[in-house]
Structure 1
């Protein structure tokens, strides 16, 4: 297994990643490999770079949603690996040409929002192409003529890998290319690539890989590219226990990227079956960041037997992300899980919740 720590890009950490923070990363690349493919609404350059000289052409882009930065970190770790002397590197670079857009939505990244500066979700603009960022990506797709596309995203902490108490640390999707969700030849290739990555990840995070919903929407970029005949894989960087900075998840996305490149470079897709794709459990929405049980013990205004489900809202301030707890549900939450779970009837748990003043205050002032 590749040692991620050898390739982790030290200049980018945590959740808030902007164009300005990537200057050191770009400076390490040959200038001839870097191109400006367009500009954002606020006229910020959108840059790409190219690695390798092989015939298998792979296009990947990250931070289409500006607040989904984990895959951007993993991409630069991948770049460091591909500039190393590892024995696998030459095989990948000789057989693949890799085009990377590390931040497609620089305005959204700066504001730490999903949408661009015009408040448009770029992943719902594949048909209309109303936004400069969407136009830039589509032109790059048309000009580069990829054989594979990697659509790199991040998902919230609420997702479980199936209906079990396992977070979906990484999720994948081979998007549908029609409303019938048929397994077209193009979609089958993407499925096999996902199976290859899942087989590797199961050795590291067993039961923590999920399968994203495949409802067809040709306003989504992945669905459109799949429809156009290019095998497209959606990567979703999710939650690893106690890893709200997503640094552990970063490692697993890095390893998944390298495994995908290895599989493509070695023409190894034939080893995998589309049937195994459907063995990956479908994502469910079963997690709260904090689950408080028996809250009526400390707040008598609440109904006995109910629980409180709290999720964290990510708030940008002073170039950092703060997690602000918010009550999402109060009721019978049987079958749901917490990344932290407190039982108010347990003195040890009560001491722990009391030390988290924001959460304690929410519980004390909650109403059914």
Structure 2
């Protein structure tokens, strides 16, 4: 970025893959010293600890939380990398820590993280519990919010491989949203701050993943935490970590999320928010859902119910097996014409080498 930030020097290599829970990160976060202070202030439904990292001593308070959905782990890895950067004692890191104070919840839903599920142990989506606060994890986040009184909130999530950017054939590797605070989706000084920070992050990311940043749907739902905090007049930003080409473990995407987090903190800490044009926010293309993991062309060769030149769309189901995430292909759509959708991989049944690949990768078993 031209200011000394170098992601390659801060990635925590020993924490990797899609399956991330407290057991994977505790050793690292407990080892951090200096400006980083670890606390255990709450427990989940199953009495697993919910950890909080307190970092920095600056006047700008930022609250961020990851793995509200237990199977969305990419942003947790990015947070770990960010903590490594902030703890490395460089002039750049120390300067930033003099300008911001962070409260980071690396895994808000530890039970869901262990089970690799979106929901918590009570089968509740915590991102639909902002008003009723029926779950201990929801109450914990709200208590932290009330006590810390953040100036900004970062709500960190993963999104599926189905998302593309606008009408393009590029995956939405990172998506952002300044959540709405009312049904009319109006803007306000609070929401505008979030939008400007997103513009700053987008400009930084366009230099490394051009055309692969999207804008998430801003339908209003007061039960969603981001919308709820925006209603409280705290600028809130939704981060969505998506797919990068051939990166199903999301080891590249974690880099882009970490870089975006750094850019946002730098913008806030150096009081540069107003430097970014508000209109540029709406120029970020909205996400659409036009991707399959695999498109099988001329699929009538495999399925006699299909017509000539018709396709199959395959999506992977992420399944926890022996502490690893296995990607199991399943048919999601039948009978569409070529060029109707995009595929992260496209195979043609008229090509023997593609048929052999389907057999070798056991994709054809999804048709049994």
With the shorter chain as reference, the TM-score category is: over 0.9
Aligned counterpart in structure 1 of residue 86 of structure 2, from 59, 82, 88: 82
- 1:340 corresponding residue in structure 2: 345
Does residue 1:15 correspond to 2:13, yes or no? no
1:60 aligns with 2:60: no
Q: Which residue is 1:97 aligned to?
A: 101
SS of 1:33's equivalent in the other structure is strand
1:216 corresponding residue in structure 2? 220
**Secondary structure of residue in 1 paired with 2:296:** strand
Is 1:237 the counterpart of 2:247 in the alignment? no
For residues 315 and 290 of structure 2, the distance between their equivalents in structure 1, rounded to whole angstroms, comes to 12
C-alpha deviation, 1:90, in angstroms: 2.1
Question: Residues of 2 paired with 1:43 and 1:299: CA distance?
Answer: 49
TM, length-normalised to structure 1: 0.96
Residue in 1 that maps onto 2:284: 280
Q: How many residues align?
A: 363
Q: How far is 1:361 from its partner? A: 3.1
Please report how far the alpha carbon of residue 297 of structure 1 lies from its aligned counterpart in structure 2 after TM superposition.
2.4
SS at structure 2 position matched to 1:299:
coil
TM-score (structure 2 length as normaliser):
0.96
What are the superposed Cα offsets for residues 95-148 of structure 1, whole Å, 9 maximum, x if unpaired? Answer: 100000000000000000000000000000000000000000000000000000
Deviation at 1:167, TM superposition (A): 0.1
Q: 1:82-101, CA deviations, whole angstroms, 9 ceiling, x for partnerless residues? A: 11243321221011000000
Q: Is the 8 A contact 1:91 1:265 kept in 2?
A: no
- The aligned residue for residue 29 of structure 2 is 26
Stretch of structure 1 that moved more, 85-94 or 188-197: 85-94
Q: Is 2:157–2:238's contact at 8 Å kept on the other side of the alignment?
A: yes
> Which residue of structure 2 lines up, in the alignment, with residue 353 of structure 1?
358
Q: 1:28 Cα shift? A: 1.4
RMSD of aligned Cα (Å): 1.4
Counterpart pick for 1:314 among 312, 318, 343: 318
Structure 1: which 5+ runs fail to align? Answer: none
TM superposition shift of 1:347:
3.2
The equivalences for 1:1-368 within 5 A come to 1=1, 2-30=5-33, 33-333=37-337, 334-357=339-362, 359-363=363-367, 365=368
Q: Retained in 1: the 8 A contact 2:30–2:38?
A: no
